[in-house]
């Protein structure tokens, strides 16, 4: 506990919350805090995989939880809460990714002829081969890859979470892998 009113700091999930997804009541502040504690890390890791920048991913995760909290009273108990959160978070990250791309294009145009600035140490995801490769593919494809190959969701679960057809998930995964194979040619050899 931090001691500040209205704030809770948690460093580890309680054992009972590490099991199956509990039932939540829409609009309940206590239930939303449980959902936050339970799913924060999953969401953050997905967004780091998408964006390659932990700081930006943290900002987007917080923004996603704010958006989710505003819509919490309209959440339907039948739908998986984590999947619902993932959809909000991925949409938030995709918006951020697009604005970042636009900004990068503007910066490239501005610094034509000048040397590129040094890589920020915060973007540690870019310092690995996979991190760099993930940063080059579209954010939605990166999200599908992380959900499938890191979290271990099935294509059907990903489709349900993102509200897209299962075939779209499969095609995003196939496109992402094809691009990664080109970027990471050393792996296949």
Partner 1 sequence: MAGEPRTFEKHLEDDLHLLLDAHSAGTIPAWRMPAQNSRRVVPFVGGAGAAVGAKIVTGAAIAVLAAGATTEIVITHSANPIDWARNVQQQVQASPRSQGGPAHSQPTSAVHPSASSVGGGSPAVPPRVSPPSLPTVTPPAVPSVTPLPIPSPSTPAVP
Q: Which helix (H) or strand (E) holds 83?
A: helix 81-110
- Footprint on residues 16-75 left by partner 1 (CB under 8 A): 29, 33, 36-37, 40-42, 44-45, 48-49, 54, 58, 62, 65-66, 69-70
**Closest distance of CB 44 from partner 1, Å:** 6
- Footprint on residues 97-136 left by partner 1 (CB under 8 A): 125, 128-131
Q: Is 146 in the site for partner 1 (CB under 8 A)?
A: yes
Q: Using the rule CB under 8 A, which residue among 150, 154, 163, 171 binds partner 1?
A: 150
Residue (9 or 116) nearer to partner 1, CB: 9
Instruction: Calculate ∠ Cα 162-145-33, nearest 5°.
Output: 55
CB 184, CB 130: distance < 8 Å = yes
Distance, in Å, from the CA atom of 82 to the CA atom of 20, rounded to the nearest integer, reads 11
Distance, in Å, from the CA atom of 51 to the CA atom of 177, rounded to the nearest integer, reads 17
Q: Is 188 in the site for partner 1 (CB under 8 A)?
A: yes
DSSP code per residue over 116-162:
PPPPPTT-GGGGSHHHHHHHHS-HHHHHHHHHHHTS---HHHHHHHH
Interface ranges with partner 1 (CB under 8 A): 2, 4, 6-11, 29, 33, 36-37, 40-42, 44-45, 48-49, 54, 58, 62, 65-66, 69-70, 125, 128-131, 145-146, 149-150, 177, 180-181, 187-188
């Amino acid at each position: 506990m931090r001691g500040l009113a209205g704030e809770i700091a948690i460093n580890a999930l309680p054992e009972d919350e590490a099991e199956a997804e509990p039932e939540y009541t829409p609009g309940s502040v206590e239930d939303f805090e449980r959902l936050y504690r339970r799913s924060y890390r999953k969401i953050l890791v997905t967004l780091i995989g998408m964006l390659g920048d932990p700081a930006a991913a943290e900002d987007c995760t917080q923004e996603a939880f704010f958006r989710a909290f505003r819509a919490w009273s309209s959440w339907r108990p039948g739908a998986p809460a984590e999947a619902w959160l993932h959809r909000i978070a991925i949409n938030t990250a995709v918006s951020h990714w697009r604005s970042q791309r636009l900004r990068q294009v503007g910066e490239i145009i501005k610094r034509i002829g000048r040397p590129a600035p040094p890589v920020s140490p915060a973007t540690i995801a870019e310092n690995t081969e996979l991190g760099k490769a993930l940063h080059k593919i579209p954010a939605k494809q990166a999200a599908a890859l992380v959900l499938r190959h890191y979290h271990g969701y099935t294509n059907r679960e990903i489709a349900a979470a993102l509200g897209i057809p299962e075939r779209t998930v499969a095609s995003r995964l196939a496109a992402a892998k094809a691009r990664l194979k080109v970027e990471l040619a050393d792996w296949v050899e």
